[in-house]
Chain A
Amino acid sequence: MMQGGRNDRDRRRREEEFVQGVLGQTSGSACNRAANQLPGLADGELAALDRQLITAHLEHCGQCRALAVTLGWLEPLLPQMAEIDPGPAFTRRVLQKTSLAAPGMSAGPIIEPGGFGPAGWMDRLGRWWGERILRPIFPMQVAYVATVVLILLTSTPISPLRGTPGRVLETMRAGSGPLPVFGPVVGAAGESAGLWITQRVDATGGHIVRVVRGVTDQWNRRIERSAPARNRLNESIRDCAKQLRQGQLSDAGHFVPQIGHAAGESWRQWRGREASPQNESEANVNPRSMDRERSTP
């Protein structure tokens, strides 16, 4: 009896080796195709012939049989995983976070009648910003929007700053203006904006007009008021640059405090504070005369 069973196993093994040998030299293993059809077999979606073919394959292939059985094992198990119990503390935390504590739980903020939740537009804006700022792509988006805004501001026909970059470039090339760099930029932008604002002021009238006019007047007054200090700053920078070009580094260094004083004075005048007499006198001191004073015993 045992001898017969062993002979039977040997015969099957030889048959299997023969089939695998033939498949290896012809179409290759059918396991990939079988694996593709296994879900269809589990769902009962296969045609009768396909079903017979794959069943025949499964009778001889242990690996595919294991896959088929595992698929059947998974079928009732997966839907059971649709929910996980997070515990009662989770509910309480969610309700606290959504500011809607139920009776008996820790109280959240008062709910405004009529609306869903206490969130006003400031809260919504804050939340929106909080969500956006955490995204890695956010800086790229900001840069993109800023570029579009700049293009719109300087290129559209109704923009107050239309043509400003070109004019700034021209002014800088011409080398004129109160300040080497900032002067032309501020001057050209201010001039363009002023022109645009004045046109709108004349067209619309009313209270807003008076406010806008006040702002432009103040802008112009500030430019006018700070002009002498800016001129002094400009001169100091020019003198310093001249010394640098001549290679007189120590002489150029003497101009640095003067430039600092002039810049500070320019800023104070722009903000509306008068120059103190002491600062004024310090700002007007020639560095060379200071040198002479230092060298005199």
Chain B
Amino acid sequence: MDQIELLKRCQEGDELAWEVLVRREQGRVCSIAYGYVGDRDEALDLAQEIFVRLYHRLDTCRDTEKFHSWLLRISRNACLDHLRRRKARPPRQDIPADEMPALKSAVPTPEEDWIQSSRQRLVHQALRCLSEISREMILLKDIQGLPLEEIARLLDLPLGTIKSRSSRARVELARAIVDLGGGPGGPENPGSIGAEAAS
């Protein structure tokens, strides 16, 4: 079904259309929420909150052709609100897993269960090592595929700044992956660096 038509039906109060819209967009919204908060349960709760917010603001989406930009904007605002609230709460005193090797379990964590691909897990792990702005750039541009002009409008920054930040963020991510010992040169893909470099 056409996205514009679907959105119009939702705005008219068609509950079936809303269900289809939720099913269609839930993966994207969950991915955005997870990218911002980095925790599976928190991301699911946040994604629900985003959908509730979206539902009550459907009639404010005037330009139905730009629905995805609008959805991204709402999701981003909800995520930032959530992070702000989380900052206001006292931090949890978690022990880093790396410091407690005895506690490491062979049973996969919910995150490992959720994100099947080890490559994607590695990228998520590397994303957590980046600065907030770099992580957001990767999320919006490279993962969600938002055009640079749209990101500039969303973040209210000049296009040139967005371009340079995007490039820097990609290099930071690549460096984080190399530092984590993963990527094409990691244990899963030994020798591929040399091969690709030679080609």
Chain A nearest CB, measured from B139 CB (Å): 9
Known: A69-B185, A90-B48. A83 touches B28 (CB 8 A): yes
Contact between B22 and A66, CB atoms less than 8 A apart: no
Is B38 interfacial (CB 8 A cutoff)? no
A98 and B143 contacting across the interface, CB-CB below 8 Å: no
Docked pose: A17 CA to B177 CA in angstroms: 28
Asked if A39 is at the interface (CB within 8 A of a chain B CB), the reply is yes
Q: Does A93 contact B (CB under 8 A)?
A: yes
In the assembled complex, A296 has its CB within 8 A of some CB on chain B: no
Whether the Cβ atoms of A67 and B28 lie closer than 8 Å is no
Q: CB of B31 within 8 A of chain A?
A: yes
Q: Is the CB of B56 within 8 A of A119?
A: yes
Give, as a whole number of angstroms, the nearest-CB distance from A54 to chain B. 13
Given A93-B48, A111-B15: A136 touches B88 (CB 8 Å cut-off)? yes
Residue from A79, A84, A117 having most chain B Cβ neighbours under 10 A: A84
Report yes or no: A66 in contact with B185, Cβ–Cβ below 8 A: yes
Main secondary structure of the interface of A (DSSP, over half): helix
Distance in angstroms between the alpha carbons of A42 and B167 in the assembled complex: 10
Interface size class, chain B? 35 or more
CB of B85 within 8 A of CB of A69, answer: no
Q: How far is the CA of A50 from the CA of B178 in the complex (A)?
A: 24
Q: Give the interface residue-count category, chain A.
A: 35 or more
Contacting residues, chain B, for A78 (C-beta < 8 A)? 123, 138, 142-143
Q: With A69-B197, A72-B196, A102-B19 in contact, is A84–B34 under 8 Å at CB?
A: yes
- List of A residues within 8 angstroms of B128 by Cβ: none
Does B133 belong to the interface (CB within 8 Å)?
no
Q: Kindly list chain A residues whose C-beta atoms are within 8 Å of the C-beta of B27.
A: 82-86
Q: With the chains together, A135 CA to B77 CA distance in Å?
A: 13
Question: In the complex, A83→B174 CA distance in Å?
Answer: 21
Complex Cα distance A102/B14, Å? 10
Chain A 78-111 near chain B by CB (<8 Å), digits 1 or 0: 1111111110001101110110111000000001
Task: Judge if A58 is at the interface, Cβ distance under 8 Å.
Answer: yes
Query: What residue of chain A has the Cβ atom nearest to residue B18's Cβ?
Result: A100
Contact B193 A69 (CB under 8 A): yes
B151 contacts A by Cβ under 8 Å: no
B13, B123, B167: the one contacting A115 at CB < 8 Å is: B13
Asked if B192 lies at the interface with its beta carbon under 8 angstroms from chain A, I say yes
What separation, in Å, do the CA atoms of A39 and B172 have in the docked complex? 11
* Known contacts A79-B145, A100-B19, A116-B59; is-contact A74 B177 (Cβ 8 Å): yes
Q: Does A70 contact B (CB under 8 A)?
A: yes
* Complex A-B: 7 CB contacts under 8 Å: A58-B197, A66-B185, A86-B44, A90-B30, A101-B15, A116-B10, A117-B55
Using a CB–CB distance below 8 Å, which chain B residues touch chain A?
A: 10-13, 15-16, 18-19, 22-23, 26-28, 30-31, 34, 44, 47-48, 51-52, 55-56, 58-59, 81, 84-85, 87-88, 114-115, 117, 119-120, 123-124, 138, 142-145, 166-168, 170-171, 173-175, 177-178, 183-185, 192-193, 196-197
